[in-house]
């Protein structure tokens, strides 16, 4: 394995879609200061880590072990349906957990974004292999951008630059590893970005007007 392939695989792992919800909420705490209390931090992060990361990852492991999918990379688009469904159910539980009166609607919209993306990805997968990695990072960037502008009213320019550079590196990695075509990479990013931005936008609108 040459250095380029090693770096591409490392980036594909670090920026895997199952980590995007965790990264998104960490950015809310670390960069935008949405919640600062440590107890609140743990209460938010623990279910997110378990339901958006640990359970889906273990599900993929079990699906591979019982030969329900061919490989962990899910190179065959048909292998994606079962992991997508299991992850979808995990996010349903996560959204249900956070449906409390004190939780702002825009935050619930952030958690609902992966549900919509997984549903769309599942439908698209019947016909075409879209990049789930790019959908994930596109969704992360769309959420951060929409929260910054529509919820916080700020413009963290440096953060946006870093995120878009990471997205470019991830897209290049997926192409270098020959997991996707350029069209699949661009389509995945665009879908993730647009859906996440709109979800947070409407969540912010309903939060402001008290719906």
Per-residue pLDDT reduced to its tens digit, 98-142: 998 888 899 999 999 999 999 999 899 888 999 999 999 999 999
For residue 34, pLDDT over 60 is answered with: no
Quick count: other Cβ atoms within 10 Å of Cβ 13?
11
Give the pLDDT confidence score for residue 207 in this predicted structure. 67
Is residue 191 over pLDDT 60? yes
**Measured distance CA(134)–CA(177) in Å, rounded:** 14
Banded pLDDT at 152 (limits 50, 70, 90)? confident
Count of CA atoms in the C-beta half-sphere (13 A) of 197? 13
- Could you tell me what percent of the chain has a pLDDT over 70? 94
Q: How far apart are CA 97 and CA 89, in angstroms?
A: 12
Upper half-sphere CA count for residue 211 (Cβ side, 13 Å): 9
Question: Looking at the 3D structure of the chain, how many domains does it have?
Answer: 1
Cα–Cα distance measured from residue 124 to residue 144, given in angstroms and rounded to the nearest whole number: 25
Average pLDDT, the chain: 89
What's the confidence (pLDDT) of residue 124? 93
* Domain, as residue range, for 50: 3-208
Would you place residue 205 in the very low, low, confident or very high pLDDT band (cuts 50, 70, 90)? confident
Local confidence band at 32 (pLDDT 50, 70, 90 cut-offs): low
| Distance from C-alpha of 207 to C-alpha of 101, rounded to nearest angstrom | 12
More confident residue, 76 or 165: 165
pLDDT on residue 210: 53
Segment 22-42 mean pLDDT: 76
Q: What is the mean pLDDT of residues 184-208?
A: 92
Express each pLDDT in 46-56 by its tens digit. 999 999 999 99
Please report the pLDDT score of residue 208 as a whole number. Answer: 59
For residues 141 and 22, is the Cβ–Cβ distance under 8 A? no
76 pLDDT band, cuts 50/70/90, is confident
């Amino acid at each position: 394995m040459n250095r380029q392939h090693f770096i591409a695989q490392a980036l594909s792992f670090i920026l895997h879609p199952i980590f995007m919800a965790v990264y998104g909420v960490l950015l809310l705490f670390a960069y935008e200061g949405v919640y600062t209390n440590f107890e609140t931090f743990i209460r938010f992060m623990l279910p997110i880590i378990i339901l958006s990361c640990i359970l889906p990852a273990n599900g993929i492991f079990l699906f591979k072990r019982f030969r329900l999918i061919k490989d962990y990379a899910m190179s065959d688009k048909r292998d994606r349906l079962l992991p997508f469904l299991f992850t979808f159910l995990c996010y349903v539980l996560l959204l249900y957990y956070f449906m409390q009166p004190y939780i702002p609607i825009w935050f619930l919209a952030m958690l609902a974004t992966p549900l919509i993306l997984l549903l769309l990805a599942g439908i698209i997968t019947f016909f075409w292999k879209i990049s789930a990695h790019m959908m994930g990072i596109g969704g992360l960037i769309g959420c951060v951008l929409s929260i910054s502008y529509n919820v916080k009213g700020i413009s963290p320019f440096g953060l946006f630059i870093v995120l878009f550079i990471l997205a470019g590196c991830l897209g290049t990695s997926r192409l270098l590893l020959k997991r996707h075509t350029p069209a699949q990479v661009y389509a995945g990013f665009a879908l993730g970005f647009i859906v996440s931005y709109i979800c947070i936008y409407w969540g912010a609108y309903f939060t402001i007007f008290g719906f």
